[in-house]
Structure 1
Amino acid sequence: MSGVEVVTIPLAHYAELLDCQRRLAVASIPAARYTADPRSRVERDPEVATFLAECLGVRLLKDTHAQCLRRFGADRTPGKSTIQRYWTRLGR
């Protein structure tokens, strides 16, 4: 389309991504800190990043990891040490 790259995704998935973006914008942690390291596996998946940020200070690491596995599956769930590093970057 006139030199602009486009992607087609289901409307429900698009709405979910927009909701994640909205929640990041209104979170008490500045949104810029969610993308501190764009090479990080967590930051490349906005849904997982939002979920983990919302768990910060609310759940234990092992519980967060287990719930992330159930919600997103093994392919999208980062390891416990990755979650801990992400939380540290967010200012835990």
Structure 2
Amino acid sequence: MKDKGDGGVERRSSFRLDMEKELVDIIWTDENGQERTKKIICIDFARGGLKLDCDIAIPLKTAVNVVFKSPNRNDDSHKLYCKVLRCNKQENGWFEIALILDK
């Protein structure tokens, strides 16, 4: 464990990037076979995956493509291939979705 310096203890050993309130595009195929696209908030990005804040639930094990777009250029984007690991409903009615990177 690492001391975070703010009194809390960091339990993760991998690199983490604070993505609070950063918008990303996600693309997945729903249970009806329809491709869905949504712009949502990325909360955390770590070596193993991402945590998102979304207004709808996405089923466990669903394949999700996450697209990060460069703020400086429209054509410069990066795509990650992931799967839904957790989808927990929060008190505010939104869902905290954990994605694991799919290798």
Structure 2-normalised TM-score? Answer: 0.22
Taking structure 1 as the reference length, the TM-score comes to: 0.23
Bigger share in helix: 1
Of Structure 1 and Structure 2, which has the larger fraction of its residues in strand?
Answer: 2
- Comparing both chains, which one has the higher relative contact order based on Cα–Cα distances under 8 Å and sequence gaps of 6 or more? 1
